[in-house]
Amino acid sequence: MRIGIGYDIHRFQEGRPLLLGGVPFPGETGLGGHSDADVLLHAIIDALLGAAGLGDIGQHFPPDDPAYHGANSLVLLARVLDMVRSAGLVVESVDATVIAERPRLAPHLAQMRERIAGVLGMPPSRINVKATTNEEMGALGRGEGIAAIAVALLREPQR
């Protein structure tokens, strides 16, 4: 078994669409940053890369590379799954927490879970997505952005 952890944070930026776990939030302020700034998928990508011993998201998809400007993070996740499989590993489970004061995420968690499970080719029961606030403390508490943390468990298939 191999375990990996991922963390990411992005600031809100007016005029950008908000995507979390590949799910769009129409009418909500989006996040700034490289690719589509899907902070949840970026944390999961880093957890998968970490568990596989394959470095981090910035090494594989450099933020200053125009190829990844506005990139769909679900596509990046699919590419990371290919890397994990090429390393001879299978994804066993993923757990993640999104930390945000807004928007309210509870009604959308099941959809995020299904979308991530779809890309990873595994049942949604093996993907868990939770949401919490920062209790109005610090930058996240002031609603300046959204953070996410994730863990992934990989295993070597039985021979």
Residues forming the site for Zn ion (CB under 5 A): 8, 42
Instruction: Report the residue number, 8 or 101, with the smaller CB distance to Zn ion.
Output: 8
Instruction: Mention every residue, 6+ apart, whose C-beta is less than 8 A from residue 116.
Output: 21, 22, 41, 44, 77, 94, 127, 129
Q: Are 91 and 120 in contact (CB under 8 A)?
A: yes
Instruction: Report the residue number, 58 or 88, with the smaller CB distance to Zn ion.
Output: 58
Instruction: Report the residue number, 109 or 146, with the smaller CB distance to Zn ion.
Output: 146
Q: Are 94 and 51 in contact (CB under 8 A)?
A: no
From the CB of 39, what's the least distance to Zn ion, in Å? Answer: 5
From the CB of 37, what's the least distance to Zn ion, in Å? Answer: 6
From the CB of 8, what's the least distance to Zn ion, in Å? Answer: 4
**Helices H, strands E: what count in the chain?**
5, 7
Select the residue whose beta carbon is closest to Zn ion and give its number: 42
